[in-house]
Amino acid sequence: MKKETIIEVNTKRVCGKTNPMIYGHFIEHFHRQIYGGIFDPNTPLSDERGFRKDVLDALKNIGTPIVRWPGGCFVSNYHWKDGVGKRTPFFDKAWRVEEPNLFGTDEFIMFCQAIGAEPYICTNAGTGTAEEASNWVEYCNLRNEGKFAKMRIENGHYEPYNVKYWSIGNENYGYWEIGAKEQKEWGRFVLESAKMMKRVDPSIELLAASISDLDWNINLLKEAGEYLDWISIHGYWDSLQQVDNPSSYESCMVYTLQIEEQILKTKYILGSLGYLNKIKIAFDEWNLRGWHHPNIHGGDWLADNIISARDRNDINATYTMADAIFNACFLNLCLKYSDLVGMANFAPVVNTRGAIFTHKEGIVLRSTYYVFELYSKYMGDTIIDSWTSDSDFFEVNHGGKTYKVPSIDVIATTKKGSENLRISIVNRNPNQAQVVRIKNNSKFEKGVMYSLISSSKDSYNDVGQPESCKTVEYSIQINSFEAAVEVGPHSVNVLVLS
Ligand code: AHR
């Protein structure tokens, strides 16, 4: 007899509104994300602007709400004027390759317009200045006042771009970042940048590079807190930067239990500094898997295999149902903390560790892509009260410790204007299906379950096997206050009850 997990739902108790921007994405000038990823002018698969049409279609299909660009570490030595008008290639010291600058601000804005996403620009707080960042705001958002708006017009773009989201810096707290800064230095730099950027366009929303560390944020928020709408934090749990040895499915399930602590630490820091209801969290780089780029922050500088090492990020076999389950658990937490986490950007969206892989004949939609499709299409816009009991557990030995991992992870939502319940039911269990019984305070007539399934926990999609991980649809007859469904092992499910 399969163990049952009971999910009780109270549709009358609203816990929050979904922030659509938690389904956001990130793309950086790294390896094949831009050139050969979204931008590939030399292939018949691209349109007249050089954008891959299959990638545009895939991103529109999941309703991509926002895209963060151009980095990431890259941005800390990027000067935006090199990427508009007459293009100036430069040696990118972040990733130690030549950047041709053929894809710049104008192309990024056109790309976002093509998929209906908000542009989110991260500015250079490494080698850049407050003035350079504010000039970038002028270029994008002023109608025609001053030389930078006039520069945009001369480049053929009369209408302002009205870019709303701007970040000051990327991980400037880290020794690895070009232009890394001390805590006090960082607070002052953000203050001066924020002053100038807001004077250009007071309507913009400002983010600043942050980390769930009290000392870093004390200085940042004391100096610049009044100007900030968001703080930016990042998370990569399977650290593969130096050695590309992806963790097992079971270890990745342990990582799903470690996401919440970073959100809570940041929440307590914001609360202790009095900014809890003013500043929101943008988890604007997150991925189960750290990007593989060995010897970039020191070590064997002369290694001549930096590109072949980065090619390892494109091995589709890496991205299994572990990645899909992790993504679903991450998004469930963003929904759970919808009062605080207002944006999240999967890092990255195309190639490297992304949801979409491009190749000469087309694209591969990796397991993680289907999680964004499930959530963007079937989850609701209002989080309602739900709790589980009797959830099954399985044990995992990871890092010398034994973890009890709950099989089931759940969040319940409803959709404005419709009476139905939309419940994410994630089964972390690597080999056992689970029976889930939903008890509601109103009667169900029928249900449809959309399930991302695979034959194995280690299944992955690739060229030639595009549907090893795929979404299937089940109809369920109910006519009761309770609904019992079985969810397969290592599966992500959205149950719509009406
Ligand atoms: O591994 C990629 C890097 O991860 C991004 O460029 C940076 O923002 C983060 O450290």
| pLDDT tens readout for residues 250-280 | 999 999 999 999 999 999 999 999 999 899 9
Residue 174 CA, closest ligand 1 atom number: 10
Q: Which residues pair with 121 in a beta bridge?
A: 69, 166
pLDDT at 298 exceeding the cut of 70: no
pLDDT tens for 45-67 read 999 999 999 999 999 999 999 99
pLDDT tens for 84-139 read 999 999 999 999 999 999 999 999 999 999 999 999 999 999 999 999 999 999 99
Neighbours of 400 (CB within 10 A): 5
Residue 71 CA, closest ligand 1 atom number: 6
Q: Categorize the per-residue pLDDT at 295 as very low, low, confident or very high, splitting at 50, 70 and 90.
A: confident
Q: How far is CA 260 from CA 303, 331, 334, in A?
A: 37, 11, 9
Calculate how far, in angstroms, residue 73's C-alpha sits from the geometric centre of ligand 1: 5
Residue 30 CA, closest ligand 1 atom number: 6
Closest CA to 362 of 55, 114, 78, 62: 55
User: Are the C-beta atoms of residues 121 and 163 closer than 8 Å to each other?
Assistant: yes
Closest CA to 240 of 310, 322, 164: 310
Report which protein residue has its CA nearest ligand 1's atom 8: 72
Q: Which residues line ligand 1 (CB under 6 A)?
A: 28, 71-73, 170-171, 234, 285, 291
Report which protein residue has its CA nearest ligand 1's atom 1: 291
Report which protein residue has its CA nearest ligand 1's atom 9: 72
Q: Categorize the per-residue pLDDT at 316 as very low, low, confident or very high, splitting at 50, 70 and 90.
A: very high
Q: Which two tokens stand for residue 400?
A: 């010398």
Calculate how far, in angstroms, residue 72's C-alpha sits from the geometric centre of ligand 1: 5
Q: What percent of the chain has pLDDT over 70?
A: 98
Calculate how far, in angstroms, residue 282's C-alpha sits from the geometric centre of ligand 1: 15
Angle, CA of 74, 20 and 338, to the nearest 5°: 100
Q: Which of the listed residues 29, 78, 236 should we mutate to test ligand 1's pocket, taking the one with most ligand atoms within 8 A of CB?
A: 236
Report which protein residue has its CA nearest ligand 1's atom 6: 72
Closest CA to 138 of 115, 118, 121, 117: 121
- Residue 291, classified by CB atoms within 10 Å of its CB into exposed (0-12), middle (13-18) or buried (19+), is buried
Name residues whose C-beta falls within 8 Å of residue 1's C-beta, 6 or more positions apart in sequence. none
pLDDT of residue 90: 97
Looking at residues 25-40, what average pLDDT do you find?
98
Residue 170 CA, closest ligand 1 atom number: 8
Q: What is the DSSP letter of 370?
A: H
Report which protein residue has its CA nearest ligand 1's atom 4: 72
Report which protein residue has its CA nearest ligand 1's atom 5: 72
Q: Categorize the per-residue pLDDT at 442 as very low, low, confident or very high, splitting at 50, 70 and 90.
A: confident
The predicted model scores a pTM of 0.97
Calculate how far, in angstroms, residue 352's C-alpha sits from the geometric centre of ligand 1: 11
pLDDT of residue 445: 87
- What H or E segment, with its residue span, contains residue 165? strand 165-168
Residue 171 CA, closest ligand 1 atom number: 8
Cα(89)–Cα(53) distance, integer angstroms: 26
Domains of the chain: 4-13+381-497 (2.60.40.1180), 19-378 (3.20.20.80)
Catalytic residue set: 171, 285
Q: Mean pLDDT check: name the lowest of 37-51, 240-254, 295-309, 477-491.
A: 295-309
Q: Which of the listed residues 69, 171, 345 should we mutate to test ligand 1's pocket, taking the one with most ligand atoms within 8 A of CB?
A: 171
Residue 293 CA, closest ligand 1 atom number: 1
pLDDT of residue 419: 74
Q: Which of the listed residues 170, 178, 244, 284 should we mutate to test ligand 1's pocket, taking the one with most ligand atoms within 8 A of CB?
A: 170
Helix 183-200 with 214-224: angle, nearest 10 deg: 40
Mean pLDDT over the full length of the chain: 95
Total residues found in the chain within this entry = 498
pLDDT at 168 exceeding the cut of 80: yes
Looking at residues 374-378, what average pLDDT do you find?
97
Q: What percent of the chain has pLDDT over 90?
A: 90
Q: Categorize the per-residue pLDDT at 301 as very low, low, confident or very high, splitting at 50, 70 and 90.
A: low
pLDDT at 2 exceeding the cut of 80: no
Q: Determine if the peptide bond prior to 430 is cis (ω within 30°).
A: no
User: Are the C-beta atoms of residues 398 and 413 closer than 8 Å to each other?
Assistant: no
Q: Which residue has the tokens 């560790």?
A: 353
Q: Mean pLDDT check: name the lowest of 119-133, 143-157, 352-366, 464-478.
A: 464-478
Report which protein residue has its CA nearest ligand 1's atom 7: 72
Q: Categorize the per-residue pLDDT at 1 as very low, low, confident or very high, splitting at 50, 70 and 90.
A: low
Calculate how far, in angstroms, residue 170's C-alpha sits from the geometric centre of ligand 1: 8
- Residue 136, classified by CB atoms within 10 Å of its CB into exposed (0-12), middle (13-18) or buried (19+), is buried
Calculate how far, in angstroms, residue 126's C-alpha sits from the geometric centre of ligand 1: 14
Calculate how far, in angstroms, residue 393's C-alpha sits from the geometric centre of ligand 1: 34
Closest CA to 484 of 444, 450, 453, 451: 444
Strand, helix or coil at 139?
helix
Calculate how far, in angstroms, residue 94's C-alpha sits from the geometric centre of ligand 1: 10
pLDDT at 176 exceeding the cut of 70: yes
Neighbours of 73 (CB within 10 A): 25
Q: Which two tokens stand for residue 467?
A: 């549907």
